[in-house]
């Protein structure tokens, strides 16, 4: 064995094994040969929540959590946020390269072409309770789309994957906007294909009786940048759900429903809503020290702080903080911003947060902007799911075409009872 290997000595047997190191990893399967007795199963790794396990090789998103770096297909997030559009970024994610002008035009046309949803989906949305959470509606309706597009089952057909990708990126805003309109008892506003991706989304959400909705260009661009920032984030909980469910070779609508459900949770896409609730609970700058004390006592978590990967300032949070100023020039300043800024200042100077490397993440400021733009809190995770669809689809296609991949099926360490005989109910004492 050369230098790029690991020598393991099993102290139970005294045997030595050489395991190759490739890309700073060892293959978990290379441990299977390590057995104390010939009929042993072989050694496994125990890694709940995959904190130190690479589940795939990927060429999509690069994160250096210690340095606070995020790149899509090699391009720094700061450059994309400044110079790109969401649709161009979505193209980059799903196709691997920035589009040529004609390709971007065709891509934008295809997405626009697919924004309408079948009228029956409307009836389906009508069936939800009047105060149904829009994220619950989104999970249900995007899953239901699989029944409208049976051709989506042909997941190894390049053309089918291409069409479903366009449909999903195009229809998620429509489903999301319809879910919102339903939850506030407003008639649905159909897509306006003259508008940009985010302009049309704002129109479907906020259009009233006017013949044409004119989105505010600052808010339209701000939302586009927020969409760029949320488009992918390598192997997070919902992407892992997308890959894992997709690995059973189900259609992409069903897999996206699973990914959206994963995003619904308060530790993932629900965190920005939790941040607003926390800021409202704090209520005033003078209450911050007492709240920090509760966090340090383990009673509550500082929502919008901390990240499994970033042990530095989340680069997305930095960009969002800048957008906040532009948005507040158009909307009224969100009074919660002052509490957030002071909370950040105090936390970043506090030994508890410094020692645990807890910094603001993407969700710390995004909710404040969304609220200022007129979105109710229920819509926050939905605003995450729409742009993340491009990332999910890129990761799904990469997984499908990766020869190393199979149906996801982790092992377990069984600690339950050994075999025992069934006891008839009459023989069981109360």
Instruction: Tell me which residues touch ligand CMC (CB under 6 A).
Output: 233, 236, 267-268, 271, 295, 301-308, 356, 358, 361-363
- Nearer Cβ to ligand CMC, position 153 or 301? 301
Q: Determine contact, residues 221/197, Cβ cutoff 8 Å.
A: no
Q: How far is the CB of 413 from ligand CMC (least distance, A)?
A: 20
Q: How far is the CB of 23 from ligand CMC (least distance, A)?
A: 22
Angle made by CA atoms 291, 295, 301, in degrees to the nearest 5: 110
Q: How far is the CB of 300 from ligand CMC (least distance, A)?
A: 8
Q: How far is the CB of 310 from ligand CMC (least distance, A)?
A: 8
Least Cα distance to 229 among 129, 353, 108, 370 occurs for 370
| Chain residue at closest Cβ approach to ligand CMC | 306
Q: What 3-state class would DSSP assign to 61? A: strand
Q: How far is the CB of 234 from ligand CMC (least distance, A)?
A: 10
User: CA-CA distance, 174 to 205, in Å (whole number)?
Assistant: 9
Query: Is 363 a known active-site residue?
Result: yes
- Nearer Cβ to ligand CMC, position 243 or 307? 307
- Nearer Cβ to ligand CMC, position 178 or 364? 364
Q: How far is the CB of 361 from ligand CMC (least distance, A)?
A: 4
- Nearer Cβ to ligand CMC, position 178 or 384? 384
User: CA-CA distance, 143 to 255, in Å (whole number)?
Assistant: 8
Exposed e or buried b per residue across 276-310, where buried means at least 16 C-beta atoms within 10 angstroms of its C-beta = bebbeebeeeeebeebbeebeeeeebbbbbbbebb
Write down the catalytic residue from 166, 232, 307, 314.
Answer: 307
- Nearer Cβ to ligand CMC, position 204 or 320? 320
- Nearer Cβ to ligand CMC, position 143 or 304? 304
Which DSSP string do the residues of 10-46 spell out, in sequence order?
Answer: ETTTTEEEEEE-BTTB--GGGGTT--SSTTS------
Q: How far is the CB of 303 from ligand CMC (least distance, A)?
A: 5
As beta bridge partners, residue 10 has: 15
E strand or H helix at 68: none
Q: Determine contact, residues 125/141, Cβ cutoff 8 Å.
A: yes
- Nearer Cβ to ligand CMC, position 344 or 363? 363
Residue in this structure with the two tokens 């948005």, named with its chain if needed: 327
User: CA-CA distance, 367 to 365, in Å (whole number)?
Assistant: 6
Write down the catalytic residue from 363, 402, 404, 421.
Answer: 363
Write down the catalytic residue from 103, 268, 350, 402.
Answer: 268
| 409-414: long-range pairs with CB below 8 Å, 24+ | 411/44, 413/44, 413/46
Least Cα distance to 191 among 165, 209, 170 occurs for 170
Annotated catalytic sites, by residue? 268, 307, 363
């Amino acid at each position: 064995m050369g230098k790029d290997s690991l020598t393991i000595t099993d102290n139970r047997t005294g045997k030595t094994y050489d395991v190759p190191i490739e890309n700073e990893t060892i293959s978990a399967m290379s441990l299977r040969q390590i057995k104390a007795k010939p009929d042993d199963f072989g050694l496994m790794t125990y890694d709940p929540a995959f904190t130190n396990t690479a589940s795939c090789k990927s060429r999509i998103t690069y994160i250096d959590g210690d340095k606070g770096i995020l790149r899509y297909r090699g391009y720094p997030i700061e450059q994309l946020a400044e110079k790109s559009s969401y649709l161009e970024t979505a193209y980059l994610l799903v196709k691997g390269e920035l589009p040529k002008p004609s390709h971007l035009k065709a891509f934008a046309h295809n997405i626009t072409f697919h924004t309408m949803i079948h009228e029956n989906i409307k009836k389906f949305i009508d069936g939800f309770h009047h105060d149904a959470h829009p994220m619950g509606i989104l999970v249900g309706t995007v899953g239901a789309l699989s029944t409208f597009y049976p051709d989506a089952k042909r997941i190894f057909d390049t053309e089918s994957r291409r069409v479903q990708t366009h449909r999903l990126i195009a229809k998620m805003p429509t489903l999301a906007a319809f879910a919102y309109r339903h939850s506030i008892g407003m008639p649905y506003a159909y897509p306006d294909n003259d508008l940009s991706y985010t302009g049309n989304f704002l129109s479907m959400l906020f259009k009233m009786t006017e013949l044409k909705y004119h989105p505010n260009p600052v808010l339209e661009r701000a939302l586009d940048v927020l969409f760029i920032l949320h488009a992918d984030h390598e192997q997070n909980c919902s992407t892992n759900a997308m890959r894992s469910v997709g690995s059973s070779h189900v259609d992409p609508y069903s897999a996206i429903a699973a990914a959206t459900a994963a995003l619904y949770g308060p530790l993932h896409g629900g965190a920005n809503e939790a941040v607003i609730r926390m800021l409202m609970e704090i209520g005033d700058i003078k209450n911050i020290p007492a709240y920090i004390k509760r966090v340090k006592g383990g009673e509550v978590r500082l929502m919008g702080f901390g990240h499994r990967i970033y042990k530095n300032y989340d680069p997305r949070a930095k960009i969002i903080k800048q957008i906040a100023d532009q948005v507040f020039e158009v909307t009224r300043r969100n009074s919660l911003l002052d509490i957030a800024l002071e909370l950040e200042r105090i936390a970043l100077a506090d030994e508890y947060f410094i020692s645990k490397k807890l910094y603001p993440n993407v969700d710390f400021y995004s909710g404040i902007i969304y609220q200022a733009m007129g979105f109710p809190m229920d819509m926050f995770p939905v605003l995450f799911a729409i742009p993340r669809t491009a990332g999910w689809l890129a990761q799904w296609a990469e997984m499908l075409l990766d020869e190393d991949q199979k149906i996801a099926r982790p092992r377990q360490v069984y600690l339950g009872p050994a075999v025992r005989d069934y006891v008839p109910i009459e023989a069981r004492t109360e």
